[in-house]
Chains A and B, each alone.
Chain A
């Protein structure tokens, strides 16, 4: 493999990995607080791209306004989802909440098929996003450069919120010990809504970037990225934001590496994430950066 080819693969992998990372952060935040796999996270991501799509095509908004609206509306949808599907079951067995999450995901997908139609739609791309840079023999589209930058900024802001603000402190408290946090007078409902809002906003940002890179919208587009990014979060150590980023990059680079090293194996690419998941769970169930926590009785 020539150096150019290697560099091109590396760029591809970093770009894909940072997209995974962005989505994985949303999973990890929700899981950290509620101990819940938000199965509908991938569908929230899908809704964000459709909102952005209709804002541009139907309401003829400029792209930046459309993105802003998509992010705000998606954050609201995330909060509504939590209130409607998860909050009523907070004291129920874990299995009920999980089924509710699956049910919510199922409902959003089926509604999307009816409302948006089953045919794929082309995501509108503003000209500034479609430029292509050529460095040496390596081609890089602008979006490919933007994605890791956005991921880095999102990570920085989140880190600040979680570690430096009062809300962040409350979030950490809730994630450490739900009941104790409640006793300390923390407004649990507010913290959970905030987490869902922030996680969904990240999903929206991820969705929009995804749309810019892979400009094709279908109602079921969130399922596979959703599953893979959850796996990325688990690999990194669920509940850990830096871990989610690490997991996203491992997954993205790993997938590219499989195809790059042996085209014959490229058909097995989708299995890679799941195999990696099972291996990680076997040898380090808390993930690469997760802390060990004893089973609570």
Chain B
């Protein structure tokens, strides 16, 4: 049975890789950009789902973790000349000027720094419950933003950083696609393995009933901290990728509205479902771009409808409310994709029952 699972998983990955290769062939550069963004949102949604969905901690600190990751990686990958050009108002701190690391290492350092931030903030706030935790983590991400705005010699303040190198090691823009989706696959596999492990079961036990979980001998704080730190790591990676995909970052990019976008994705996909987060991240990111037409002028034959800017976001907010009120489980609930779905299809076997 175990072996079959591994084989199935490998087959899934292979299928995904083949799909990606095919897609890469005919995506235009605009479509590829949106698709890359989808990948980044998958990573972000999965990292939030780990904290919010599997452990049931309602954390709103994602934008803060992303900011830490993005700034760390950016400072490590930018060349000395680029930094000097950016810091034209206030010179950069000398110890930061000359450090430069290859992208993969800088990316991991970015993730680790986000984890470190999560560890420091987690020690006090993870002892809080639900709403207090939400507001404290939201506060944390705002504090990060305010600090990054004010420490001009480290972050260039409100001016932000420009000229971040391309994702990858060859400094080619086309490399981003494989890096991002490679990291997506790693993230998905990691999350699946983690959730199926003893830790994963402990996470879910905490989500279902903290008191009972504690009575069963699960160390609440340790497990919460673990999920929080791991989630922050991937959020940091996501932030770094986002910054390098765009080539520029500034503190305003990491407002809590960014966190709300990820909450939207996770809720629509189903809190506590990896499959749901993946599908939802892709669908929402594409839909955000496609529904742009709502904001502009629509011409149907001779009929011209003048769009009101902002309509697109209303559509998403309404969708979110509908899902929350009438369809709380989202797209997938806590269910996951598995190959056994195919076995359950009526024309293959009629005996199988949904467990």
Contacts and interface: CB of A to CB of B under 8 A. Distances in A.
Interface of A: 35-37, 84-85, 88-89, 92, 94-96, 98-100, 102-104, 106-107, 109-111, 113-114, 118, 227, 230-231, 234, 267-268, 270-271, 273-275, 277-278, 281-282, 285, 295, 297
Contact of B135 (A35, A230, A295): A230
Interface in B259-281: 260, 263-264, 267, 271
Given A107-B321, A271-B143, A281 B313 contact: no
B150 interface: yes
Interface stretch (B31-39, B285-293, B303-311, B337-345): B303-311
Given A234-B135, A278-B139, A88 B128 contact: no
Nearest to A88: B325
B354 interface: no
A44 to B, nearest CB: 16
Contacts of A89: 324-325, 328
A267 B320 contact: no
Interface of chain A: mostly helix, strand, loop or mixed: helix
Interface of B: 52, 56, 58, 124-125, 128, 130-132, 134-136, 138-140, 142-143, 146-147, 149-150, 211, 260, 263-264, 267, 271, 308-311, 313-314, 316-318, 320-321, 324-325, 328
A225 to B, nearest CB: 14
A54 to B, nearest CB: 18
Contacts of A106: 260, 264, 317, 320
A120 B271 CA distance: 37
Contacts of A92: 328
Pairs A-B, 7 closest by C-beta atoms: A274-B139, A107-B317, A271-B146, A113-B310, A110-B313, A267-B150, A114-B310
22 contacts: A84-B325, A89-B324, A89-B328, A94-B131, A95-B52, A95-B56, A103-B320, A103-B324, A106-B264, A109-B317, A110-B310, A111-B314, A111-B317, A114-B311, A118-B310, A231-B139, A267-B146, A268-B147, A271-B143, A273-B139, A274-B143, A278-B136
Given A36-B131, A95-B130, A96-B324, 12 more contacts: A37-B134, A89-B328, A94-B130, A110-B310, A118-B309, A118-B310, A227-B139, A270-B146, A271-B143, A274-B139, A278-B140, A281-B136
A111 B146 CA distance: 28
Contact of B131 (A96, A98, A109): A98
Counting chain A CB atoms within 10 Å of each CB, the highest count among B128, B146, B320, B325 belongs to B325
A277 B311 CA distance: 35
Given A270-B146, A277-B136, A95 B310 contact: no
Contacts of A273: 139
Contact of A282 (B124, B142, B260, B318): B124
A274 B313 contact: no
Nearest to A276: B139
A281 B125 contact: yes
Counting chain B CB atoms within 10 Å of each CB, the highest count among A37, A88, A100, A114 belongs to A114
A84 B316 CA distance: 17
Given A285-B132, A297-B211, A267 B324 contact: no
Counting chain B CB atoms within 10 Å of each CB, the highest count among A36, A37, A88, A278 belongs to A278
A129 to B, nearest CB: 32
Given A95-B271, A278-B136, A100 B317 contact: no
B124 A278 contact: yes
A37 B317 contact: no
Nearest to B144: A271
B146 A102 contact: no
Contacts of B139: 227, 231, 273-275, 277-278
Given A267-B149, A274-B142, A85 B135 contact: no
B128 A285 contact: yes
A214 B132 CA distance: 30
Nearest to B317: A107
A226 to B, nearest CB: 11
